[in-house]
Amino acid sequence: MNHPAIREGAVAVVTGAALGIGYAIARRVAREGMNVVLFDKDAEALDLAVRALRRDMPDARLLAIKGDVTCEDDLHRLHEQSCEFGEVSLLVNNAAILKGAGPWEDMAGWRALMEVNFWSLLRLQQMFVETWLAHEGRAAIVNVGSKEGITTRPGNAAYSVSKAAIKVLTEQLAHELRERVGARISAHLLIPGYTFTPMNFPDMTADTPKPDSPWTADQVAERLIEKMGEGDFYLFCEDNEASWELDQRRMQWAADDLIQKRPALSRWHKDYADAFAASIADL
C-alpha cells in the first residue's frame, strides 16, 4: 500500500527533477497518477525530461518550472505555482551538487555547496510545511541525504557536512511534526547508495552502459515508494557493492568511534584497518 501522500490527483513537487534520481522519482510518482511539478535549473534537460514523460504517459499532468534552488524568488515561484497546480501532498527536496571543498580550503566553494544542498532545502521545507500546517490533508516531505552524511567517508568534506546536516534536520522535523500533527504530515530521509546518475557519471547518455556497482535511479525511486508505504522514516538504499548487512556494520563502526573513543573516521585510519576488516570478515 502506498503512503497516503502518494495518491492519484494530488501534486508532487520534485527539485532537481530533470536528471538522475529526481527524474526517476518524478516519473515513478507520475505513474501513481500524481500531478508532478518538475523543478530544475537546467532548462534543456528539463525540457527533454518532460517530453520523455509525456511520451511514456500522455495523460500525465506535468508542470515544468525552470529555476535555481538558491534563488529565493524562484523558490517562492515554485511554491506558489505548485499550490495553484493542485493540492500538494509530496515535496521531494532532491537537488544537490557534489563539489570538492576540503576542511581548511575554498570558503566560496563551501558556501556555494551549502546554499544548494542545505539552505535551499530548508527554505523549501519551511514554505511547504507552513502551507500543510494551515490546511487539512495528508502530506509528506522527503529530504535526500546520503550515506556520506552518516558514515562520512573522507574526501568530500563539504558534501558530507551538507548531508549530515540534512539528516539531523529531517530527524528533527519528523519528531516535531509527529508531536504536532501525528501522522498527518510525515518527514522522511532518502539515503541513496551509489547510483548511476550524472552526478557520478557526468558524461553519461542514454546509451552509456551501466557499470555493475551502482543501482539505477529507478531502483532508488522504487525503494522510496516501497519504504514510504511501509511507514519508514529512513528510506535506505543499498547498492550492488554494499549490501544492507555491510552498511549496517559500517554505520555501527562509525557510531562506535565515539563510544569506544577511537580516532575520528577510524575506518580509514591505518592503525584500525585490520580491526575494521575483521569486523566484516564474516559477510
- Footprint of ligand NAD (CB under 6 A): 15-16, 18-22, 40-42, 45, 68-70, 94-97, 116, 144, 146, 192, 194-195, 197-200
The minimum distance between CB 151 and ligand NAD, in angstroms, equals 12
* Residue 63 contacts residue 114 (beta carbons within 8 Å): no
Q: Minimum CB separation from ligand NAD for residue 179, in Å? A: 27
Q: With respect to ligand NAD, which residue has the nearer C-beta, 97 or 242?
A: 97
From the CB of 126, what's the least distance to ligand NAD, in Å?
17
Q: Which residue is nearest to ligand NAD (CB)?
A: 20
* Joined grid coordinates for residue 4: 497516503
Residue with Cβ nearer ligand NAD (20 or 138) = 20
Active site residue 159: yes
Q: Return the number of the residue (199 or 265) whose C-beta is nearest ligand NAD.
A: 199
DSSP state of 149: G
Burial class of residue 86 (count of CB atoms within 10 Å of its CB; 0-12, 13-18, 19+): middle
Write down the catalytic residue from 159, 194, 234, 272: 159
| Dihedral sign of CA atoms 186, 10, 22, 216 in order | positive
Angle at 243 (CA atoms; ends 241, 244), nearest 5 degrees: 150
Cell numbers at residue 21, please? 534520481
Provide, rounded to whole angstroms, the least separation between the CB of residue 93 and ligand NAD. 8
Q: From CA 196, how far away is CA 97, in angstroms rounded?
A: 15
Catalytically active residues are 159
